Amino acid sequence: MASVSGFAAFDVKGSITCVSASIPVKAVIVFGSDDIVQRIRARIRPGQILLPHRHKLSFGVVFDDPELKSAVGAARDVSDFSQYGGLSPHVFFVAHDPLAYAAKLAAEMERWHAREPRSAAAIPDANAIRQRRTELAARAANDEPLAIFQSTDSTAWTVVFDPIPGFPQPPLRRFVYVKPLPDDLDELDPDVRSQLGCVGIWPATLQNARKLTRLGVSRISPIGRMQVPPGTWHQDGQQVLAPLVRWVDAETA
């Protein structure tokens, strides 16, 4: 087994805060943005295996939920890890009455916050949330048909119903959008599709899952379990351990 005399440390935004000069290991596994992957790649020695897992975008699709039961799980998926992860949903596309779903999700977000408060946001993160809320409030004041649900006197959580098509990228920290389900998700921006990771669905049936396989996602899960993948999960659609195995073929006469 190779010894490890070096290491790399990252902050939550992906900045490299410490990288040792010598990392005598056989494989290096990287989770982060394209920039982080490239910076680590420059430090890889010849012969070392590099397994990059780049930044991913995830979302949810509610095909049918007249009783809004999935909102409980949706709140969990948004709240766990405060969206600092590739499995964290940025938006939920809802087929029927997305405004009512947004209101229900907001109520569940408040309940989740009461049980497990979000950690204090850094000043730049809090300012980004306030700025986005202000921009959305200005749109609403101009009679755009959107609705903003948010925590009282804090940036703890935000739910936005916005009927404009597209895949929004929120400022994170428990900030999520709800939008009407488009007729064809295949029309998502190619830049978004290239980064898709996980889709949470409700109801979680194979029939509904098959509707989304063409998007290029590597995992489809029930809403409420987006953040808890099984140990058998093929991250990024690949076998996780196989690249770390070195085979020796012995041939006899």
In a domain, 244, yes or no: no
Read off the pLDDT band of 230 (50, 70, 90): low
Helix runs in the chain, H state only: 34-41, 70-79, 98-115, 123-141, 190-193, 206-210
Answer yes or no: is pLDDT of 117 > 50: yes
**pLDDT value, residue 240:** 65
What is the reported pTM?
A: 0.80
163 and 208 housed in the same domain: yes
155 and 68 housed in the same domain: yes
Distance CA(150)–CA(14), nearest Å, equals: 28
Distance CA(71)–CA(77), nearest Å, equals: 10
Domains held by the chain: number: 2
Greatest alpha-carbon span in the chain? 83
In a domain, 250, yes or no: no
85 and 97 housed in the same domain: yes
Lowest mean pLDDT among 163-167, 196-200, 204-208, 229-233: 229-233
Residue closest to 57 by CA, chosen among 166, 135, 131: 166
Per-residue DSSP letter, 168: -
CATH label of the domain that carries residue 225 = 3.40.309.10
187 and 63 housed in the same domain: yes
Averaged pLDDT for residues 43-56: 76
Taking the CB of residue 138, how many other CB atoms lie within 10 A of it? 10
In a domain, 126, yes or no: yes
In a domain, 41, yes or no: yes
Residue closest to 74 by CA, chosen among 56, 86, 62: 62
Residue closest to 226 by CA, chosen among 48, 74, 91: 74
Answer yes or no: is pLDDT of 11 > 60: no
88 and 73 housed in the same domain: yes
What residues make up the domain containing 33?
8-54
Lowest mean pLDDT among 122-126, 219-223, 226-230: 226-230
Tokens 């597209």 -> residue? 166
70 and 142 housed in the same domain: yes
111 and 164 housed in the same domain: yes
Contact indicator for 187, 91 with CB cutoff of 8 Å: no
